[in-house]
Amino acid sequence: MTHAHPAEVARAASAACADSYARIVAALIRVTGDWTLAEDCAQEALALALHRWPAEGVPANPGGWLMTVARNRAVDVLRRAAVERRKLRELALLQLADEGRAGGSGGEEEVVDDRLRLVFTCCHPALAIEARVALTLRTVCGVPTADIARAFLVGESTMTRRLTRAKARIAAAGIPYRVPTGPALAERLPGVLAVLYLLFTRGYDADGEPAFADEAIRLARLLERLMPGRCEVAGLLALFLFQNSRREARRDVDGNLVPLAEQDRRRWDHAAIAEGVAVLARVDGDGPYAAQARIAACHATAASAAATDWPAIAAAYDRLAGLHPSPVVALNRAVAHGYAHGPAAGLALLVEARTGGALDDHPLAVAAEADLTARRGDAGRAAGLFRRAAAMSRPGPQRRALLDRATALAPAPGRGTPAGVPGRSDPAPDPPDPRAGSDSAAHPGG
């Protein structure tokens, strides 16, 4: 494939790089214990590949090629620094392990373990949560520091300092480079998944870095492959796939968020939905992410908003409320029951959700009450509630949508006549749709 099409080479090169990066960094950290050296050498190997492969062609075993280049680079640096012989010897063995793998046998366990080790170390609970997210992006995903800095709204030098501090803390605090075993694994896994979730939302949110969502999905796929049979890992992957399938459809031409019920379902990524359904079929058990994924699946597989299986969603929310009670889950549950079993059922659960005052400042709670009230037939009261929800919302498309809803129900005094208002032909809610399937999903696990 020496004279392959340049675009094809570039695609093959970046795929190989994305696939190999964490593997290389993880292996070099294990042997040298030096995080910065590992990252630098991996980066240099990638840079060399992107420089050479377009002209020379992609090697038969791109991952092995990258590992060898990175390893040789590390040997050079360590030799110059005159580091102990033990590390150099282990680096030589690293090459053997990699060649063994290229030959199609052995070595895989070791390499697989390395990447998990890296993920669990970057997500160690003794690191601040923001540091965990940044470190995972930088070290596991190889995202440039400048891009991470932008997502965290800080300058590049600030982010560089934070990353350096986090890496120094791993060594100084005694954080082990290890995947926990036994009960400790079950205890630590939710923390890792919470980091992945934050990573995903950083990418999926309105102003996020879209690439982060892809990285979160890639990591979830990796974890699912390396830790089969963990229902929360598969549940999280399925949830990501369902949410991300709507990425293209959830904005109109002006960049405003389009509510789930109004999205053009032909623009959903149906391959991602199919993968999500397949992953979810493997989930054997229940947990907060698996329960959310089941809810998201109901939305993602409905042929139209009207065809949504609300009784199934309401039942899934009942389970989620038991597994992971929170005010937002209670709110979403009330909305789901409102669709499944009528507005009166929804309003009763909404009263329950609001006891204790946890949702007092939540415009979505008022909007949900407004919608349920409108569907029960009390247009005047509903209009007032929509206006109140609008007043509680930040200026923007969501607030405008709430005001539109209020005007359609009962025009404000002195502003036109009701006759001129087209009104909504269907009773579907638009604006702030707080269901887990919507883009403001509640999430468990921090």
Partner 1 sequence: MKFMMFVCTDAEPDTDPTAQPDIDAWVAENDGRGRRVRGNVLAPTSAATTVRVRNGELLLSDGPFAETKEVIVGYDLLDCADLDEAVEVARTHPMARAGRIELRPFADGEQ
By CB under 8 A, name the binding residues for partner 1: 126, 171-176, 178, 180, 184
CB of residue 170 to partner 1, shortest distance in Å = 9
Query: In Å, how far are 41, 128, 188, 192 from 219, measured between CA atoms?
Result: 21, 20, 16, 10
CB of residue 123 to partner 1, shortest distance in Å = 13
- Comparison of 174 and 377: residue with beta carbon closer to partner 1: 174
- Comparison of 178 and 376: residue with beta carbon closer to partner 1: 178
Instruction: Tally Cβ neighbours within 10 Å of residue 15.
Output: 12
CB of residue 122 to partner 1, shortest distance in Å = 14
- Comparison of 5 and 86: residue with beta carbon closer to partner 1: 86
- Comparison of 126 and 412: residue with beta carbon closer to partner 1: 126
- Comparison of 54 and 180: residue with beta carbon closer to partner 1: 180
CB of residue 232 to partner 1, shortest distance in Å = 21
The region that residue 229 occupies, defined by phi over 0 for left and psi between -120 and 50 for alpha, beta otherwise, is left
Smallest CA-to-CA distance from 212 within 121, 144, 158, 119 is with 144
CB of residue 175 to partner 1, shortest distance in Å = 5
- Comparison of 125 and 311: residue with beta carbon closer to partner 1: 125
CB of residue 180 to partner 1, shortest distance in Å = 7
Phi, psi (rounded to 5 degrees) for 91: -65, -40
Q: How many residues are there in the chain?
A: 446
Q: What's CA 215's distance to the chain center, in Å? A: 8
Q: Is 378 exposed, middle or buried (0-12, 13-18, 19+ CB in 10 A)?
A: middle
Contacts of 78 (CB under 8 A, 6+ apart): 32, 37, 87, 88, 91
CB of residue 117 to partner 1, shortest distance in Å = 13
Please give the Cα distance from 234 to 251 (Å, whole number): 28
Please give the Cα distance from 25 to 44 (Å, whole number): 11
| Residue with the two structure tokens 């006549």 | 417
Please give the Cα distance from 329 to 445 (Å, whole number): 13
Please give the Cα distance from 178 to 122 (Å, whole number): 10
Maximum Cα–Cα distance for the chain, whole Å? Answer: 87
- Comparison of 178 and 388: residue with beta carbon closer to partner 1: 178
